[in-house]
Amino acid sequence: VKKSGRNGWQFYTQAMQKESEEKHQLFNDLVVAIGQNELQVYYQPVVRASDGQVVSCEALVRWPQSEGKLISTDLFISVAEERGLVNRIDLFVLRNSLAFIQQMNEELDTKVHLSVNVSPRLLHLRDEDAKAWLDTLRQRQEVDLTIEITERVLVEDSDDTHEVLHELDLAGIRIAIDDFGTGYSGLSYFSRFPVSVVKIDRSFINGLNTSETETTLVETILLLANKLGVQVIAEGVETESQAAFLRANHCDMLQGYHIAPPMPEKEFLAFVKRNKTS
Ligand code: C2E
Ligand code: CA
Ligand code: CA
Ligand code: CA
């Protein structure tokens, strides 16, 4: 910006203003979409590495557009986080996914676990949506539940976070560290928080068989988790050779396009049904 002088700066601020207007528009549209119940939940299976059985699934929010367009979830979640709307989304996803998985398990006589993503903001207790989210958790029945948080949440380590995570642990809810390996290097949170699952970030899985560094990192994470008695899910498994490597190195569970993409309710239910009988 500095070097390009006055015009460059002008261009920069114009671009920034355009971006902020776009985000503002996106935010307004999102408020309407939530009000009109337009968000949907997709489900991506998580399978046991040893035998391919569906043991769990991750709930992922989708915002369908007309004409089949799709807004990136990362994008609208980040706008929702910036502007304090993400708790509403997390509450919506939790309520809908709990109801659906409970019903599916009854219908198919299965015990598929559910995993939901949680924005760091949810673990601050003063927000109304956060309270409703916690109440929903406390009242849940039957469904085995994991919440996925990032290392950032644990590094910040507020009193609220501590309190909530320990309460969830007592209530039998598992805590998973999402995007494991991409955040902060310290590992002391393993002794401070009741972590039971780590999800190896897909950037590491992507490098398996092609990068020695990534391969070593994955091996090291698997050894570490094993020593700590923590379960491991590999994310973003896209090829059979990645899956084979992970099985050989005693990774517990696999998730990724190689197994199946995130799917709407009906398709996910059909997938679980097929998996059960095969
Ligand atoms: P995440 O939690 O790391 O979710 C995994 C992302 O990887 C998902 O993207 C999923 O569709 C994608 N994925 C799954 N398998 C593969 C694969 O084999 N290859 C590749 N390249 N990608 C794969 P998605 O659904 O677009 O979600 C993006 C992010 O948005 C999520 O990352 C999560 O951080 C956030 N998010 C999604 N749903 C929610 C939600 O309900 N609440 C909150 N707070 N965040 C959410
Ligand atoms: Ca996740
Ligand atoms: Ca992840
Ligand atoms: Ca992520």
Beta strands 40-48 and 253-254: pairing type? Answer: antiparallel
CB 173 within 8 A of CB 118: no
Q: How far apart are CA 54 and CA 112, in angstroms?
A: 7
14 CA distance to ligand 1 middle (Å): 31
Identify the band that residue 126 occupies on the pLDDT scale cut at 50, 70 and 90.
confident
Q: Which of 239, 234, 232 is closest to 257 using CA atoms?
A: 239
Give the DSSP H or E segment for 206.
Answer: helix 202-206
Exposed/middle/buried for 190, CB within 10 Å: 0-12, 13-18, 19+? middle
pLDDT of amino acid 1: 44
Q: What percent of the chain has pLDDT over 70?
A: 94
2 CA distance to ligand 1 middle (Å): 36
- Tens-digit pLDDT profile for residues 153-202: 887 777 888 888 888 998 899 999 999 988 766 778 888 889 999 999 99
Q: What percent of the chain has pLDDT over 90?
A: 64
- Tens-digit pLDDT profile for residues 197-247: 999 999 999 999 888 999 999 999 999 999 999 999 999 999 999 999 999
- From 39, 73, 94, 145, mutation site for ligand 1 pocket: most ligand atoms within 8 A of C-beta: 73
pLDDT of amino acid 32: 95
Identify the band that residue 27 occupies on the pLDDT scale cut at 50, 70 and 90.
very high
User: Which-ligand-closest: CA of 92?
Assistant: 1
Indicate whether residue 200 lines ligand 1 (CB < 6 A): no
Indicate whether residue 90 lines ligand 1 (CB < 6 A): yes
- For CA atoms 49, 197, 101, 40, give the dihedral sign: negative
Indicate whether residue 195 lines ligand 1 (CB < 6 A): no
Q: What is the pTM of this model?
A: 0.93
pLDDT of amino acid 85: 92
pLDDT of amino acid 277: 77
Protein residue with its CA nearest to atom 44 in ligand 1? 119
Q: Which of 133, 136, 258, 149 is closest to 194 using CA atoms?
A: 149
Indicate whether residue 129 lines ligand 1 (CB < 6 A): no
Mean pLDDT of 272-277: 92
Indicate whether residue 77 lines ligand 1 (CB < 6 A): yes
Q: How far apart are CA 96 and CA 113, in angstroms?
A: 14
User: Which-ligand-closest: CA of 72?
Assistant: 1
> Which of 211 and 256 is assigned the larger pLDDT?
256
CB 226 within 8 A of CB 248: no
Mean pLDDT for the chain overall: 90
Indicate whether residue 206 lines ligand 1 (CB < 6 A): no
- From 42, 77, 98, 129, mutation site for ligand 1 pocket: most ligand atoms within 8 A of C-beta: 77
CB 204 within 8 A of CB 232: no
How many other CB atoms are there within 10 angstroms of residue 109's CB atom? 7
Protein residue with its CA nearest to atom 45 in ligand 1? 117
Indicate whether residue 236 lines ligand 1 (CB < 6 A): yes
Identify the band that residue 4 occupies on the pLDDT scale cut at 50, 70 and 90.
low
| ipTM of the shown complex | 0.98
